[in-house]
Structure 1
Amino acid sequence: MKIFSLRRLTAIVTAVLGTAIIGLAILATQLGIDHNNVWGPRRLALLAIGVLLLFLSALLLSYERVSSCFDNWKKRIGGFSSYLTGVVLDSCIVRLFVGYISKFKTRFRAAIYAIPFVKFLVKKFGDLIPRITRSFRNSPVIQYLSASKERKAKIGSWSLFAVIVLTYVWLVSVGRWTDWPGTTDYYEMLANALHHGQAHLMIDPDPRLLELSDPYDYEARKHIPIPWDVVLYEGKFYLYWGPAPGLILAGLRLFIPVEIGDEYLVFGFVTGFLFFSVLLILAIWRDLFQDSPWWIVIPGVLVAGFVNPMPWLLTRPAVYEVAISSGQFFLVAGIYWAFTALRSAKPVKWRLILMSICWALAVGSRITLVIAISFMICMVWFRIFGKTLKVRTIHTGIWTMVALMAPLVLGAIGLGWYNHVRFGSMVEFGFRYSLTLENYYQRYGITLSNSYIVHNLYNYLANSLRILPVFPFVKPIWGKHNIWFFNIWAPEHYHVEQMAGILITTPYIWFAGISILIMLRKIFSGSSAQSSVGGDPRTIANGASEKWLITALIGAFVLEFFPLLIFLYVTMRYLADFIPTLVLLSTVGSYQSYKITSKRKASHRLFITILALTVLISALLGFLLSVTGYDARFENLNPELFERIERLLTW
């Protein structure tokens, strides 16, 4: 028995939101939002939005009546249209015109074929093209490639993967392909230090820096050369970024005795992220949505590869981007191993071990992921115990949990020990001792605050773009200190850089809302409980896996996004801390949308159109924004190529 239909639930939420907005407009002065009693254009616009939402809510609640009225008018208009069409098409003028056109086509074709040269071509090559087409279709290679939907999906996805990786090479090399401009080598320095058995970098601070009473004050040290944004603690330099990439690089140095700059690490981690994204997108389609056509996987792969800011990371591949891309690579890899490990009746232990290792390395790369990964671990626990309780194998479940937790516990101990060796505390990462513009040593309390939430939400979600008349046609603008609609100013120390809101640059993420709405519908309608009684076992298992996956992705996205909302600093690269999970959730939403609309022709066509537009806009804007990047590297490092492209695309 349904508690609420999805339509009624949406109507109630819309009505509450509309009422709240109207109340906000009316009570703006009392709430301290507007200090002027005069109703300006912003308050009037706010009131209009609230009234519009209430009107939309009323339409949703009276849907049956409106729909019936609409169908009535549709039948009348259809009848009149049929009558009008019949009258026009049956008229003697139209029949005469159609007959004339038919005779003209016949005579024209006969005249063309009467030309000797055309006769020769038809005689010699008339049957050649159909024969070549038939031979191509019947060739063993084409027969093999088109043997199954799964094979087509794999070939299409991995072919697109190869194209995207080539684009990555073009971006990171600023169009030079083989000559990659260098950026930073911080992780190479950390790997060198770890290789020599120490946690601090093998460079000594300038003695003048150590003589300062407060070396963290930028004005006091600005004339002293230092590696930018490193940590200074007790006369030694450290890095506050996660050590996992440096540990991996130290291991690679045993086999590859060459220096590897941060640009190569960013390229490797972004490519690795895309690799596991393709694997996961294919696995979700194969296991849960194989009734859908094979091409439905292509939009997800394309957006995962080009979504802003993943290509953006490649156009300024420095130490900051290494930590972020490494964290996302290991996070998505862990999600893939978790999903595939839990698909069978008994969890696959070796996949759970790989999942655990990946998530330990993700936290070791980007500590802000620890909350999201803790939630994901809890989701895996519940799934494992749910499976073991059904088959009454508690003993097996305990050993499975040991396999799951061992790498994570070892990773946590290792990270705590690394911090203790450096700063004497297992939970100190050194950010407060960083040598940057802000003196965090004196003002560490300003780094996290709920006073940043409103401005961070606006900047991450809705900050606009700058449109250009020439290539690359779009550029990000700096984030906002003032939310103009409410006239709310951020704290003085709030810091913004270039930012483009994801609701503008990535419309594909609206499909994530489909997954969320379907999840809410199942919760409020009780459909999960109903379907589990007397249903097909495979359908029930797929439904449980789908529900688990959506819940895990929603929770991970929210918990990845939350630390950024209370942080004082906004910049484009931080979008990469949560956008991959959101794209995966949106891909699941696109699969579900295809399934829902497949039985309704008009709705299905609308879905295909919206999917194509959102995918193309998201991928194109992600690529064009990356051409600019933080430092406009294409314009500065390869101006000849940039000018050629600019001239080519100017009209």
Structure 2
Amino acid sequence: MKRLKEDNLKHFFAEETLKKYSVVFIIILAVMLICELFIFNFKWVNSAFDKKVDAEMTLSGINESGTDLKFTSDSATIEYKNLNEELKYLYFKPGSNKGGVADITLSAVDEANSSYFSAPSRTVLTDVKSSEYIRLRFSGEVKDFKITVNGMNGKTISKDNIGLNVRVPLMFSWIRFLLLSLTLMLLYVLRPKSFVYNYKTDLSKNWQRIVTLALVAIQIITFWNMIHWNTGVLEWHKSYEHHRQYYSLIDAIKEAHLYLDFEPSSALKNMDNPYDFRERYAQNVAFKWDHAYYDGKYYVYFGAAPAILLYLPYNLITGNDLPNYIAVFIFGIMIMIGILLLLWEIIKKWFRNTPFALYLLLSVVFGAAACLAYAVQKPDFYLVPSLGAIMFGLFGLAFWLSAERKNEDGTTSLISWRLAVGSACVAIIAGCRPQLLIVTVFGIILFWNSVFKERTLFSKKSLKQTVAVCLPFVIVGAAVMWYNYARFGSPFDFGANYNLTTNDMTKRGFVWGRTGLGIFTYLLQPFNMDAVFPFIHDFNAATVYQGLTLTEMLMGGVLWLYPILVIGLYGAFKKNSFSDRRSYRFVYFSVIFAVILAILDAQMAGLLTRYFTDFVWIAFIGTIITAFAYYEMLRDNEHSRRKFAGIILTFSVITLVLCFLSIFAHTEDSIMKANPTLYFTVQHLIAFWM
């Protein structure tokens, strides 16, 4: 009987039925409920029978008035003498109103230390209740105990806001419970043995369109909420002039000129070298930070396309300036759609057996790693042209891929309007971030046979298609070259070298000594990891390069931060795994282009986190195609297919987790400083053991 029950149970869980999934989901909910009550709230359980310790306080930098304590020093202390008690918990609430915050350092004389031993400092906030209850780990009985309080000068709290060995209340987090439950349910649905891999991607089916649109809607809502996390950055367009450059450009265009309406100071005009950063400060010269200065005028060296396409219409319609984070949000939405469109065209052309679940999963990972995670952390002006270039690159490649159609006789034909739209999108990249025009080479790969074998492009019989491909480049190229010539006297000078920044970029040049550092830092540098939330942390790049190299706080190389990119790197060395040589060339050149762009960014500007957006999305194209190709190749080997699906799922989850953690890891313009309530709420939800 027992054996029969076991067989029935195995059979039940082996079958892909709605009943089984219902049971599994109920189990997940039950397990998560138990975890939320007894693991994530272990302090509540652990302190259930504790008795509060009442002891006399010795105060320094604090005035006592009845039951109130008023802090009169930036560094005040509260000391308990001769306790001789085992201390398990400290309760410290830095105020009775919202917004209270303090940094506290706890010290003790215990059985292992005859003089004060200090633990690492902790931040406590009235808006984050879990931060107020601190688990103490001193050795044995504590004789003396001291609390050093920073950041509360002038504040008053009640004595009841401080307690030793208090009972920690139950702090049930519905957000944590629901998110973890839904995540585990989703992972179960996406496990390699799941039925979802039986459904091939086919967006001509209504149910797949509905699911895809639902995913886009969820991403948009999530992105909109997350983009508001770093509240400090949202207001930069109001307070920092260099974040208002598109506004200044729009004002100039409306007045029918290209220079900005700022008259450079006479001191700047009279300098022998106005680009000498140290000399400007030595002479106390007034200047516009990060603006292009040329021939006695200020200009915007950032691509003008976003200003014309977004900022100008908004200004003309509303009379106001478009907040930069809104531009980031708009481009972010279009990038989500562009990724789905590009992946769909790749599937239609080369990998018809790709599961719908894989299509959706990789589209989400693609967007998060390529740019959207960084956009959440810093949705500022500098990101706008980069996101615009990525968006146009995605749509351009998608339309180019969709332009080629197989005829019934086996020949191919090209759809002119799709060619034209694709070329227009790619060409507009020049008006956003010119170095990303490197994706034009993908067009050469794609249409190589059309030009040299089938003669359906650049031949007498294909004049219409040839015009469709070339005319957008001619029009946009002419506009961009005129724009450059009108400002800087050369059609090929975009003006970035005239930037008034920390160094003279007119003398920067191309130095091979920076190449190795750029490749290592951007691609191969391991991240800095420890046991403190957010577990990965930014750091300064180390170098002994004897010259000028510009760096900011970095996170690590992209192969560490986005490990799923290893799949594309692997595919670049597996030529015979691709049935269509063009798909392999996309993979191979995506890796080459990523390396080239990393070198160019290191040479032209330096080592900055935001430049990841230049090449990660291109590298991701190779990863996507490799993943689809291998899944296609293994479709007749069920065991290997499931194993590979597990690899993709594992790399995807790790990449998404690292993307999320990286949002909180930046110390420059960090969320921790701008929005401490959010930062420490997330910290305590994840690092519940604190």
TM-score scaled by length of structure 1? 0.67
Q: How does 1:18-97 map to 2 (within 5 A)?
A: none
**C-alpha deviation, 1:252, in angstroms:** 4.4
Equivalent residue for 2:275?
A: 216
Aligned residues of 2:289 and 2:500 also touching (Cα < 8 A):
yes
Equivalent residue for 1:186?
A: 245
Q: Residue 503 of structure 1: which of 541, 552, 559 is its match? A: 559
Aligned residues of 1:168 and 1:314 also touching (Cα < 8 A):
yes
Equivalent residue for 1:643?
A: 680
Unaligned runs of 5+ in 1: 1-94, 103-145, 482-488, 523-527, 529-542
Change (3 A) 1:342 1:254: farther
Of stretches 422-431 and 286-295 in structure 1, the one that deviates more from structure 2 is 286-295
Q: Residue 196 of structure 1: which of 248, 255, 265 is its match? A: 255
Q: Secondary structure at the match of 1:292?
A: coil
Equivalent residue for 1:375?
A: 441
Residue 407 (structure 1) aligned with residue 472 (structure 2): yes
Change (3 A) 1:569 1:502: same
Aligned residues of 2:577 and 2:629 also touching (Cα < 8 A):
no
Q: Which one-letter code corresponds to 1:397 in the other structure?
A: S
Q: Residue 292 of structure 2: which of 199, 221, 231 is its match? A: 231
Q: Which one-letter code corresponds to 2:433 in the other structure?
A: R
Q: Residue 394 of structure 2: which of 296, 309, 332 is its match? A: 332
In 1, Cα distance between equivalents of 2:397 and 2:662: 28
Equivalent residue for 2:304?
A: 243
Q: Which one-letter code corresponds to 1:194 in the other structure?
A: I
In 2, Cα distance between equivalents of 1:192 and 1:620: 42
Q: Which one-letter code corresponds to 1:192 in the other structure?
A: D
Equivalent residue for 2:228?
A: 173
| Percent of pairs with identical residues | 20
Q: Residue 421 of structure 1: which of 455, 478, 486 is its match? A: 486
Q: Which one-letter code corresponds to 1:460 in the other structure?
A: Y
In 2, Cα distance between equivalents of 1:365 and 1:381: 25
**C-alpha deviation, 1:493, in angstroms:** 0.9
TM-score scaled by length of structure 2? 0.64
Q: How does 1:174-573 map to 2 (within 5 A)?
A: 174=229, 180-183=234-237, 184-222=243-281, 223-248=284-309, 249-307=311-369, 309-344=371-406, 345-370=412-437, 372-385=438-451, 388-389=454-455, 394-441=459-506, 444=507, 446-481=508-543, 489-499=544-554, 500-519=556-575, 543=580, 546=583, 549-550=586-587, 553=590, 556-557=593-594, 559-564=596-601, 566-567=603-604, 569-573=606-610
More helix by share: 1
**C-alpha deviation, 1:219, in angstroms:** 2.4
Equivalent residue for 1:75?
A: none
Change (3 A) 1:438 1:99: closer
**C-alpha deviation, 1:280, in angstroms:** 1.1
Q: Which one-letter code corresponds to 2:635 in the other structure?
A: S
**C-alpha deviation, 1:415, in angstroms:** 1.3
In 1, Cα distance between equivalents of 2:460 and 2:682: 64
In 2, Cα distance between equivalents of 1:563 and 1:384: 31
In 2, Cα distance between equivalents of 1:377 and 1:559: 18
Q: Deviations over 1:588-646 (max 9, x none)?
A: 11111212333334423321221111001111211221234463442222222222222
Q: Deviations over 1:347-389 (max 9, x none)?
A: 111111111111111011112123x144234335524325743
Residue 160 (structure 1) aligned with residue 221 (structure 2): no
In 1, Cα distance between equivalents of 2:597 and 2:457: 35
In 2, Cα distance between equivalents of 1:432 and 1:575: 21
In 1, Cα distance between equivalents of 2:369 and 2:446: 28
Q: Which one-letter code corresponds to 2:480 in the other structure?
A: L
Higher normalized contact order (CA 8 Å, seq sep 6+, divided by chain length):
1
Equivalent residue for 2:635?
A: 598
Aligned residues of 1:312 and 1:627 also touching (Cα < 8 A):
no
Q: Which one-letter code corresponds to 1:508 in the other structure?
A: I
Change (3 A) 1:277 1:308: closer
Q: Secondary structure at the match of 1:201?
A: coil
Change (3 A) 1:545 1:520: closer
In 2, Cα distance between equivalents of 1:447 and 1:367: 18
Change (3 A) 1:256 1:337: farther
Q: Which one-letter code corresponds to 2:624 in the other structure?
A: T
Q: Which one-letter code corresponds to 2:345 in the other structure?
A: A
Change (3 A) 1:224 1:648: farther
**C-alpha deviation, 1:513, in angstroms:** 3.3
**C-alpha deviation, 1:321, in angstroms:** 1.2
Q: Deviations over 1:198-239 (max 9, x none)?
A: 111122223333343332222232344533211111221112
Aligned residues of 1:346 and 1:387 also touching (Cα < 8 A):
no
RMSD, aligned CA: 3.1
Unaligned runs of 5+ in 2: 8-198, 238-242, 407-411
Change (3 A) 1:520 1:191: farther
Aligned residue pairs, count: 481
Aligned residues of 1:309 and 1:622 also touching (Cα < 8 A):
no
Aligned residues of 1:341 and 1:349 also touching (Cα < 8 A):
yes
Q: Deviations over 1:220-266 (max 9, x none)?
A: 32344533211111221112222211222324433343211322222
Q: Secondary structure at the match of 2:317?
A: coil
In 2, Cα distance between equivalents of 1:340 and 1:101: 52
Q: Which one-letter code corresponds to 2:249 in the other structure?
A: L
Aligned residues of 1:182 and 1:263 also touching (Cα < 8 A):
no
**C-alpha deviation, 1:100, in angstroms:** 12
Q: Deviations over 1:393-426 (max 9, x none)?
A: 9434222111111110121211111111112222
**C-alpha deviation, 1:176, in angstroms:** 6.9
Aligned residues of 1:193 and 1:199 also touching (Cα < 8 A):
yes
Q: Secondary structure at the match of 2:384?
A: helix
Change (3 A) 1:172 1:400: same
Equivalent residue for 1:11?
A: none
Aligned residues of 2:201 and 2:359 also touching (Cα < 8 A):
no
In 2, Cα distance between equivalents of 1:233 and 1:393: 41
In 2, Cα distance between equivalents of 1:101 and 1:279: 47
More strand by share: 2
Change (3 A) 1:557 1:155: farther
Equivalent residue for 1:8?
A: none
Change (3 A) 1:190 1:380: farther
In 2, Cα distance between equivalents of 1:320 and 1:161: 25
In 2, Cα distance between equivalents of 1:548 and 1:504: 24
